[in-house]
Structure 1
């Protein structure tokens, strides 16, 4: 087995790969095109940023270091018979923590208090809303959405899940098909988008849907920027000053400086960092090593992607 690794693992983590009796080509070390010719497996976040698929004629297994897979051509992988796996579950904990942080910041007026401290203003707000008893929808009840729901339950929140077919999932009180989101949006205090990018999820937050949203909805997107029609969202926010948008992902990244989202009071922008974690790299190394071993031993790999469905 020969593996091309294009991810900033530590030397100690790379040694763990080598202990699996695999020859390593590390992207930070000198290598030639010939070194890639007999690579049969890749571990990477952006596997074809520097190289093309054609430069790996013997590739059979690709382990992505991300939950999303839109950085690769799944049709080309399917045509070559290459097995694809993602890093689903690795980022669930930090993303769930990030969502809770943002919800609490909004409810407890954290940014207003920071501004008042800067301006030396002593002004008490005695009517800050509680999370307890609120109804929060989660669109996408995979590993990330489920972890968000699990943590929200500690605040006695009613969690409503939306997924492909409305199936029941852990930690979710009710589940509905994603196609019925517009029918239930008015009931929600907040909506968290944790969907993968598929034809069914592109543009799900659009002008028609936002017309049915409550005027004080808190919208959080930690899934894919393609899920939100940003122009429609900006219009909704301008028409509904009590509403809030918390956005970590965008249609175009980096977010263009000309975007109105940067300067809107109701919007919290962050640069696609909700998955950031000081423990993620070690978890990723373990997942990749386990999956290389599984693939070598012809066992089912963890998080294998159905290339027809795209997840």
Structure 2
């Protein structure tokens, strides 16, 4: 059995896996370009997903399972996976802590107007007159109440914020004061001082936030997207920001990545941009590799208790 990896999972992890699974041949590379010689023989492919095209899968004649070491899988060629009946698993559940920390960092930076203070520091300006507003008592509306949304809500409660969640069913979830079903999305949006999008990209969530949704928000609302860029109608978001329909936005994901140089988002004073890094941390592989290790044991033993097995029809 041969496993091909197009990402670096760390030497210590590789050594442990090789000792534990001595029936497996591991071919671990840092990118897909280095892995060319072993494409045809690989039965299992470990990847972040960005390099996994339909053409690549066609070259992998013996491929039976893809372990995607990211949560986002919307870039994968699902039709090809279905045709070949390839097992797909991912690492959903590992991003809660780093992304929740990112969101709270954004909120607290907004709380002290951190970017303006840094500009004052660079220009040696001593100005103490600032319109600071506490996050105490503010409302955070979180779209998606899974691992990430729930961890954001837990941290927000530590700052005495009111937490509102939106999910498909409207069923209660820990750390949320109130939950709205997706059919009442606009009602939930209207209450948020901060609105956080944690949604995956599916047929149901594509451009779920458009002109009507931004109009439903408070004009003082601050929008944070750490979910998927295409869950937002980017044109409607730009219009809402330009016309001050909402106060501002912190964006880590975009419809097209890298964000095109000609996007007006780059130069907007009420927008903060980061290059899809909210889920990264020094603990990433410490959380991802055990999922792969469990799934590899399951695969070898012919069992079905996979962690995060993806439904190829639902694409999540």
Distance change in 2, residues 1:182/1:75 (3 Å): same
Instruction: Return closer, same or farther for 1:81/1:241 CA change in 2, 3 Å cut-off.
Output: closer
Question: Which deviations, in whole Å up to 9, do the C-alpha atoms of 1:261-306 show, x marking residues without a partner?
Answer: 1111100011111112111123222221121112222141111112
Give yes or no for contact 1:66–1:86 (8 Å, CA) kept in 2.
yes
Q: Does 2:310 correspond to 1:295?
A: no
Residue number in structure 2 paired with 1:43: 46
Deviations 1:135-162 (A, max 9, x none): 1111111111111111111111111111
- The alignment partner of 1:258 has SS state of coil
Shift of 1:79: 2.8
SS in 1 for 2:165: strand
Give 1:216 shift: 1.0
Moved more, 242-251 or 219-228: 242-251
CA distance in 2, matches of 1:59, 1:125: 62
TM-score normalized by the length of structure 2 = 0.92
| C-alpha contact 1:247 1:269 (8 A) present in aligned 2 | yes
**Residue 264 (structure 1) aligned to one of 263, 268, 276:** 268
Aligned to 1:244: 248
Contact 2:218/2:246 (<8 A) preserved:
no
Whether the aligned pair in 2 keeps the contact of 1:116 and 1:122 (CA below 8 Å) is: yes
Does the C-alpha gap of structure 1 residues 159 and 124 become closer, same or farther in structure 2, counting only changes over 3 Å? same
The root-mean-square deviation of aligned C-alpha atoms, in Å, is 2.0
Q: What SS does the corresponding residue of 1:103 show, helix, strand or coil?
A: helix
What is the TM-score with the length of structure 1 in the denominator? 0.93
Q: Which segment drifts farther, 171-180 or 147-156? A: 171-180
Equivalences for 1:45-124 in 2 at 5 Å? 45-46=48-49, 47-48=51-52, 52-124=56-128
Q: Answer yes or no: is 1:230 the counterpart of 2:231.
A: no
The superposition leaves residues 164-185 of structure 1 with CA deviations (integer Å, 9 ceiling, x where unpaired) of 2222222112111223211232
Unaligned runs of 5+ in 1: none
Specify the SS of the correspondent of 1:219. Answer: strand
Asked if 2 retains the 8 angstrom alpha-carbon contact of 1:241 and 1:266, the reply is no
Using the TM superposition, give the Cα deviation of residue 50 of structure 1 relative to its aligned residue in structure 2, in angstroms: 10
After superposition, residues 142-181 of structure 1 pair within 5 angstroms as: 142-181=146-185
- Range with greater deviation from structure 2 (230-239 or 194-203): 230-239
Deviation digits for residues 41-77 of structure 1 (CA, Å, limit 9, x no counterpart): 1111135259611222332221101101112122322
Pick which of 93-102 and 230-239 moved more.
Answer: 230-239
What residue number does 2:17 align with? 17
Whole-angstrom distance in 2 between the partners of 1:50 and 1:141: 32
CA distance, structure 2, for counterparts of residue 50 and residue 12 of structure 1: 32
| Counterpart Cα distance in 2 of 1:205 and 1:50 | 30
